[in-house]
Chains A and B, each alone.
Chain A
Amino acid sequence: MKNKTLRLCMAGLLVAASFMFIAAGGKKTITVKGSDTMVILAQRWAEEYMAKHPDIVIQVTGGGSGVGLSALINGTTDIADASRPMKKSEMEKLKLRFNSLGSEIKSAKDGVTLYLNESNPINELSIDQIKAIYLGEITNWKDVGGEDAKIILYGRENSSGTYVYFRDNVLDGKDYSSLMQSLPGTAAVVNAVSKDKLSIGYGGAAYAKGVKMLKVKKDAGSPAYEPTTETIKNNTYPITRYLYMYTRAKPTGEMKDYIDWILGDEGQAIVAKVGYFPVK
């Protein structure tokens, strides 16, 4: 059984390698890997760009920001998408292998959105309440004004940039409650929250279909905001972040053209269409 699988894998690899060889013949390939939050955006960018530039092939894969940055460090991708800034330790590793600190491009903005089930009576929470919920200090909805029932926590796997961003910016770097169920991908979190009455989850704004977006207050006294183009552009929505693209060195040639196009009007129009927010 194992031998068979192994040989099949080998054969598959050979076929894939030969395909790549053929593909590389006429066209330039740019590989993009990383953040699951950004996958839907990166794919749309790639599709539109390839339609306009038939000589360029852009391959997009997800996996999580950590996956993308590891791939960048290991030399297996040209561009890494990340929904969090690169860590110091990652930069050091990049420097060690390629003698470069990498190049950072802020390609879009996102509000980390908290999802609630549509039947949940709660509409707004403060950052402190959200923090206490995810640290496991508040475990019952009645403590934040809801019904008397246990809060079911959903989150992302620890390979996710959103996982790290949320921990560093909402939980002040403390660890999530071990009761949090981690699901592979934002879509899975949204799906779970839409089915689970007493649950709460987080992820990118673009994914919030079939669930309720929670309005977030900076502190108990301040007004609550929903993530919209307006509130994110002027930073009134309290959990706003950039979505980054990283390259090993300053982009040149085809890669530079691609990134310039993303940052230009056309690329940023796609950002808004997908459900995220333009940088400018």
Chain B
Amino acid sequence: MPHERSITELRAGLENGEFSAVELTRHYLSRLEGSSQDLNAFITVTGDLALEQAKKSDIDRSKGQAGPLSGIPIAHKDIFCTRGIRTSAGSLILDKFIAPYNSTVVEKLEQAGAVMLGKTNLDEFAMGSSNENSHYGHVLNPWDKTRVPGGSSGGSAAAVAAGLCAASTGTDTGGSIRQPSSFCGVTGIKPTYGRISRWGIIAYASSLDQAGPITQTAEDAALMLEVMAGHDAKDSTSIATGVPHYTDSLSDSIKGLRIGLCQEYFDEGLDATTEKLIMEAVAVLESQGAVISEISLPTTRYAIPAYYVIAPAECSANLSRYDGVRFGYRCENPRDLDDLYKRTRSEAFGNEVKQRILVGAFALSTGYYDAYYRKAQQVRRLIKNDFQEAFNSVDVLLSPTTPTPAFQIGEKSDDQIAMYLQDIYTISSNLAGLPAISIPAGMHGHLPTGLQLIGNYLDEARLLNVAHQYQLQSSWHKLSPPAGDAE
């Protein structure tokens, strides 16, 4: 079935005329209308637009003008602004928000010929690790519908895993691409901070937010990233360096590659079966010529504390724009301006969002700024220095993506701290701004397990190369969940 194929395989099918872009799009749309939709992975399906774009793509192809992703049906996390289509960020406050412009990522993928099937579900404003914080209800994990898909890009990861789209965009502030990719058995890369323009992505924590693709394979991730990456004059934090052809280096040998295992990521919090699966994957890489050593990142224990100061502080500033005046939700019959602001925000933000705003406002307030915000920024540099030290002796760092496989819906929703600890292996690379990828590396019973590789700045090509080489020797990324075959 086409939905089990990778982008590379779908491109071949389109090129040799096995199916047209319109036929392929209809196939995915019928899956979205069918029983597969009960995962709640999508907030909005844009069927008419998708068919229009597919038609255009078929015409472009007939004229010999096909782009790199011509006719490939993809989905966008509902945090990327899309012109004329609701962009909700999973929040009631943006439930009726129709962006007047496209984000740079959406624009670039459209220019490359990709077909947009719709917008995927997420934790409200990307704040969460389970997709239980969405105004539109939680997403189910296609491997086990009693479990969470991870978050915050939970809808994106579930949709790719279940074959509801060929690939999806996501964003990652503390692990929001990699953790759901791990839970859903798909490939997800968070590039170097600034590699992809943030313009038109609804902001959560601006110094940590970064977009990336979620795909079936590392090869597909390379294809998507090539299109998504690059400098953008509209985002002054985007990196000016040119974008390499990530697909060119996929087949390079990894003989002699130095892989460091971060000791602190194999601690007592790690599930024993997950550890066993990761070490089996390490053995595969070793058999391909990689040289394995142990590395210490002593500041790891400060990462979650520093994150839960910096991210809420930036969120409290970013979310101050939602005031009921220029766009978004407005409360009924405000008594005065103060009442308008307060009731609008209090009625339309969810609890987790409100709490992060409060923690952030506290950390930035007079008397606490130095002890919290400034201290967290200093710790952040220590974390970066740790990584720089590690990269003097190894090329990439390897770890599990998460301490356990997907947990039950509701299991951690009353224990916020346990939820925050989910991101213990992913959060440091956001603080340091480093690229990192999660790939499927084994089955924990009926649940996927993800392996994480962290690279040096702008070393995405190497991460994709190592991931691809591993995928040539393993078949975990080819497994489909039972829910994906619901038709």
A binds B: no
Binding site for B on A (CB under 8 A): none
